[in-house]
Structure 1
Amino acid sequence: VVCAEPEVDNAELVSGSHPSYKPQAKVTFRCIAGYRMEGEPTLECDINGQWTPEIPKCTEVVCAEPKVDNAELVSGSHPSYKPQAKVTFRCNAGYRMEGEPTLECDINGQWTPEIPKCSGK
């Protein structure tokens, strides 16, 4: 009994390359830059020829669309926001910005610095 070669799109094998994978063989994957792992990075071949836990997925890192009440987006509109994407906001008339107007999507899918607020005078 052997396990088939495990394949994880957008990942690289960190350890465990073998010509054949017998029970108790282990492999560890790491997602390439710009991707985040969903699942466990280390797998083990079980006695039934299956990898456990299930083979992970590497999904593209994106930031959620930033929303600022009482403001308009003045630059950086995209269908999806990947790391290094930048957006700039401007508060509507009569509102004052608390925080930085320009944000950048980081490699973890978070906006930095923190999303600003526009508050009334």
Structure 2
Amino acid sequence: MVFRFVCYLVVVWLISASDESCPEVPAVENGIIVIEETEGQILGTCVCIKGYHLVGEKTFVCNASTEWNAPVPTCRPGHCPDPVLVNGEPSSLDPVSVSDKITFKCNEHYILKGSSWSQCLANHTWMPPLPVCKSRDCGPPGNPAHGYFEGKDFNSGSTITYHCEDRYHLVGTRDQQCIDGEWSSALPVCELIQEAPKPTPQTEFEKALFAFQENKELCKAIENFVQRLKENGLTMEELKYSLEIKKVELEAKMLS
């Protein structure tokens, strides 16, 4: 009891009275504050006694306007900070000592993300880090470029379906489900459908000319040739023009 009383009153100034231009620091219950001058600044440091943990900034500085840059911290019961779990609760809310372990449980409709337990270490920290409680429902999903989804329910277990605009096809998972606060698959993408190049008249003429190679009978070959021209909407004039181009190309190759 005597030690706690002394620690409650102690504020140690390690600078001369003539240098004291900052406001007096109030004593911290269950802690010690040391004021010293370092590198031209007046620095305050707070240390809590065993069985208490620091709440606030451990160090604070007196700035040029002769004011402390942060409020004086406090020392609260327990070696580690109080375990706070939003939308859940730890197994104990009592002050803890070094090596104490606690477990965590989330409220209904929430799922635990992280470790289900943690231990208070000698350096006043929890390890593993404190977990969080995340809603089992999902937020609105994203839309891929040139795509959209169908579905208005984003609750746990609900399903949405992705579609792409015209001239685009879907790459990825079309149907996705909300499972424990996350969508079951990554966002798909909509890729542009590459159109096949249209055949040139010259290519169609070459296909039509195959009729003469496929049939030994001249009349039958001519009949098939004319039929293929009609199927492709080609004329004899266009054939003549195509053959002239082919002739020029062959002559150019022979001269090169």
TMscore range, shorter length? 0.5 to 0.7
Structure 2 CA distance for aligned equivalents of residues 28 and 66 of structure 1 = 35
Two-structure CA RMSD over aligned residues (Å):
3.9
Superposition map of 1:37-48 within 5 A? 37=113, 41-44=117-120
Aligned twin of 1:93:
166
TM-score, normalised on structure 2? 0.33
Residue type of the partner of 1:8?
L
Higher strand fraction: Structure 1 or Structure 2? 1
Aligned twin of 1:67:
143
Structure 1 CA distance for aligned equivalents of residues 158 and 141 of structure 2 = 11
Structure 2 CA distance for aligned equivalents of residues 18 and 12 of structure 1 = 9
SS in 2 for 1:96: strand
Name the structure, 1 or 2, with higher relative contact order (CA <8 Å, separation 6+).
1
Structure 2 CA distance for aligned equivalents of residues 19 and 39 of structure 1 = 20
Q: Deviations over 1:67-120 (max 9, x none)?
A: 2121122223x6xx45434322221111122333221122262x2234322222
Larger Rg: 2
Aligned twin of 2:242:
none
The answer as to whether partners of 2:157 and 2:178 remain within 8 angstroms in 1 is yes
Structure 2 CA distance for aligned equivalents of residues 45 and 72 of structure 1 = 49
TM-score, normalised on structure 1? 0.58
Structure 2 unaligned residues grouped into runs of 5+: 1-50, 52-76, 194-256
The answer as to whether partners of 2:84 and 2:90 remain within 8 angstroms in 1 is no
| Counterpart check, 1:10 vs 2:96 | no
- Give percent identity, aligned residues only: 15
Aligned twin of 1:25:
100
The answer as to whether partners of 2:83 and 2:90 remain within 8 angstroms in 1 is no
Structure 1 CA distance for aligned equivalents of residues 171 and 157 of structure 2 = 22
